[in-house]
Structure formats: structure tokens, C-alpha cells
Amino acid sequence: MAHKIFNIYLRFIFAAIVVAYIFAFNTPEARCAQLYFESQTPTVSVDDELFVSVYLNTDEEVLNAFEGKVFFPKSLELIDISDGGSVINLWVRKPAPDYFGIFFSGVTPGGFYGTKGKLFDIKFRAVASGAGKIIFSDLLILKNDGLGTPTEVSSTEWEFIVNEGVGIQPKLIGQEVNFWEDVDPPESFTPIIDRSPEIFDNRWFLSFTAQDKNSGIDRYEKKSAKSRIGLTFAKWREVGSPLVLSDQNLESHILIKAVDKAGNERIESVEPAGQVVWYKNLDVWMRVAIIAFCVILVGRILCLLRRKFRKPA
């Protein structure tokens, strides 16, 4: 009897070990998105420029909304922020200064998946010596699951040292440019019309991002009209991306102009995505008027020639 009880006890212990092994080694690891900094210059001198990039690792999840702050010490002076090449193509609020930090909030329709997705680049100038850290705060990242489910987020800080005295930082290709030498326009880009229940109450919006390898993008301008003729006389106005369209019927012709910091321009067009009723289309009536004018003119010329060459009776 004791032998049977002992065998049952051994089987129970064996089963407990197997179950513990399964839970310990086969439980799916919790996903955790990570934001981190990257820079080639962790040590600089006063008056040197410091370039830092913000990257995202989604940890095998598809994520589509990103928000947070980047804080930096007073030993650094913010010079510029660039979102060129960012995985975020719809900024709810572009990276901008906010109480000794940089606040950002944006969306990527369809989501982003990867280990090194750039969010934006930051350019500082060192103004005081000493050690310091750049850190993240108030991070919120949502899954691309249609429900806006928050995901776990981790972040790493970035440490740097500013040496005493004025240093001369080596000039890196592409970081500085003489604007007078920049004669190349921004690269070609494609403005996209889209809408999403997650932003702008599902209204149609226009998103666009241009790249300029020399002086960088300075601004965007837009003009639109419901006819090509009207587009010719429409005025340019400065805009940002994404832009909620005033014409929600998508009947307008749109031009987007990207201007770099040297004044070079690149213009891209967007054709009407909606159908315009022909009798409301000014271009159609203009073509009719031109054809009618040509017919009348030709008829008038033929009448004059007929009179001129008519033989007397």
C-alpha cells in the first residue's frame, strides 16, 4: 500500500514539474515597444553642434500612433528639428519645443513594423560644459488593431559630455551647407489623399512629405481650384501636413509646393478624386467657348473670302 502511495506521489511531482516547465519556457513573452536615441557624437565642446536621432523598435508588433516628450538639459540649445524620412507621415503635432522639451504626436495609417523606424532628428548646440542626459517622458504608443489599444513602452536615455572651452567639431557631409551653393530643388514627392476614423473625424485630408538632401525643407505651400483655369489664378498659401481638405467632395485640382531653405521649389499636383458633373466644370465650358469662337472665326473668314472672290454678275 505504501509503495502505491509513493508511486502516486512521484507521478504527481513529475506532472507538477512538467507543468511548471511549460509555463516557464513556453509562455509568450510580453511585447514592449522601445524608443531610443542614436548619435555619432556623444562628446562635444562648447559651441559644437550635436545631432541626435529618435528611433522606434516595435518589437514585432504593428503600431500606428505615437506620442511623447523629449527632455534635454539647459546645457543644450535647440537649433532645429527635422522629420524627413520619418515613419510618421501624419503629424497631429509636429515635433516642437515645449517647456525645455520637445513634444510630438503623430499617426501612421496602416501601422509601422520594424526595429529601426526613425521618428525625427534633433540638432542642438552645446552652450555649457558638463555631463548631461536626454530622456523620454509621457510616452503613449497605440497598436494598429482598430481599437487604439496602448502597448507597453520602454525607453533608453542618452548621455553626453560637453567639454570646457570652444571646440571645432568635424564637419559631417550633409549636416551643413552653404545655402547659396544649394541650387537643387527638393526631391519629387507624392501628396496622398486619405481619411481615417482615428483622426479628423474621418474627414478627407491631404498628407505630403518632401526630402531635400542639401539645405532641408523650409515650408510647404498649397493652392487649389475646381478648374485648371481657376488654379492658374489661385494664390499660394503656406500649409502643413496633414491638411484637412475644405473640399470634402474631392472635386478640386490641388498643387503642393515644397520650398527648401535656399528657396528652391518642387511642385506636385493632385487630380480630383471625385467625379465633377460636366455642367459644373468650368474647364468644359471654356473648351466649348473656345471651340465656338473658332467656328465663328473660321465662318467669318470664309464669308469674307467668298465676298472677295465672288465674280461680278
What's the total number of domains in the chain?
3
The residue-averaged pLDDT of 38-42 equals 88
Q: In what order do the strands lie in the sheet with 63-71?
A: 43-46, 158-166, 130-143, 63-71, 101-112, 90-97
Domain termination residue (choose one: 166, 196, 225) = 166
33-38 and 153-155: which strand pairing? Answer: parallel
Beta strands in 60-146 (DSSP E): 63-71, 76-82, 90-97, 101-112, 117-126, 130-143
How many Å separate Cα 303 from the centre of its chain? Answer: 63
Query: Pick the residue with more confidence: 177 or 58?
Result: 58
Q: In what order do the strands lie in the sheet with 217-225?
A: 237-239, 217-225, 253-260, 265-270
Is 12 a domain residue?
no
Same-domain pairing of 270 and 285: no
Same-domain pairing of 131 and 198: no
Is 129 a domain residue?
yes
CATH number reported for the structural domain that contains residue 263 in this entry: 2.60.40
Same-domain pairing of 118 and 198: no
DSSP state of 29: P
Alpha-helix residue ranges (DSSP H) falling in the chain: 2-26, 228-233, 282-309
Same-domain pairing of 147 and 111: yes
Please count the helices (runs of H) and the strands (runs of E) in the chain: 3, 18
pLDDT tens sequence across 271-308: 887 665 555 565 565 666 778 778 888 877 888 777 77
pLDDT classification of 59: cutoffs 50, 70, 90? confident
Q: In residues, how long is the chain?
A: 313
In the chain, the N- to C-terminal Cα span, in Å, equals 145
Residue 6 has pLDDT above 80, yes or no: no
Same-domain pairing of 269 and 302: no
Same-domain pairing of 132 and 80: yes
Q: Is the peptide bond before 242 cis (omega within 30 degrees of 0)?
A: yes
Same-domain pairing of 139 and 49: yes
Same-domain pairing of 250 and 190: yes
Domain range for residue 189?
A: 179-276
Is 11 a domain residue?
no
- Complete DSSP assignment for 274-300: SPPPGGG-HHHHHHHHHHHHHHHHHHH
pLDDT classification of 103: cutoffs 50, 70, 90? very high
Same-domain pairing of 145 and 261: no
Q: How many CA atoms lie within 13 A of 31 on its CB side?
A: 16
Q: Scanning the structure block, which residue is given the C-alpha cell 555631463?
A: 131
